[in-house]
Chain A
């Protein structure tokens, strides 16, 4: 069945370092992938989305490339900031209007 896998539950980094949060998906539908970010006690907000193979999409310093060959949509940033500390969700959509969210990756950025 359709699913989204985020392998890291918690990532802890020092400010200024690069980060990559992993996301792989399984779907029988043409993939449409999303990254949402949720700060503490707030609602999730869209960070990135893509349905185009091998095209990099960027927003607020974060970027991701959908690779259909490897069923991946990893989120990256070259230099994390303290304000990037949040819960990050990868999500995929299927043809039944069901959006599958991964379990989420908690990113903690330390000074």
Chain B
């Protein structure tokens, strides 16, 4: 069975500090990977997606960047956090092809102070 693991579970960071969030998928080769951002109780905003190692497409950057260094790993980062970066970050995977279903990780709750 496929599993998706996000880290860390939660972060409290200062404005201007760097950030790195991670996501690992096990049990599935070559998944499509996605990063979403959600304000508290808000909608899900797609940030980035990747269909293969080393390739990342930006949907909405929000002064963030993403990388896919390995087939099963997706990283979200920034060198300088803003207050507006606070929220819930969700990594998701999809089998690709015609599966058309997103499976979300448990998420990382980020508070920028």
Residue ranges of A at the interface with B (Cβ–Cβ < 8 Å): 32, 34, 36, 42-46, 49, 51, 87, 89, 91, 93, 97-99, 101-104, 106
Within the complex, what minimum Cβ distance (angstroms) separates B45 from chain A?
A: 8
A42 CB contact (under 8 Å) in B32, B44, B106: B106
Question: For residue A91, which residues in chain B have a CB less than 8 angstroms away from its CB?
Answer: 44
* A to B contact number (C-beta, < 8 Å): 48
A43 CB contact (under 8 Å) in B34, B41, B51, B90: B90
Report Cα–Cα, A42/B88, bound state, in Å.
10
Bitwise, B70-111 to A at CB < 8 A (1) or not (0) is 000000000000000000001000000000111111110000
* A/B interface sample: 17 pairs, CB < 8 A: A34-B101, A34-B102, A43-B90, A43-B104, A43-B106, A46-B102, A49-B101, A51-B100, A89-B44, A97-B32, A98-B46, A101-B43, A101-B44, A101-B46, A103-B42, A103-B43, A104-B42
Report Cα–Cα, A42/B109, bound state, in Å.
11
Residue ranges of B at the interface with A (Cβ–Cβ < 8 Å): 32, 34, 41-46, 49, 51, 57, 59, 90, 100-107
Q: Are A97 and B51 CB-contacts (below 8 A) given A87-B41, A103-B43?
A: yes
Q: Which chain A residue lies CB-closest to B106? A: A43
Report Cα–Cα, A15/B5, bound state, in Å.
35
Q: Are A46 and B103 CB-contacts (below 8 A) given A87-B41, A97-B57, A106-B41?
A: yes
Question: For residue A49, which residues in chain B have a CB less than 8 angstroms away from its CB?
Answer: 100-101
Question: For residue B107, which residues in chain A have a CB less than 8 angstroms away from its CB?
Answer: 43
Report Cα–Cα, A51/B98, bound state, in Å.
11
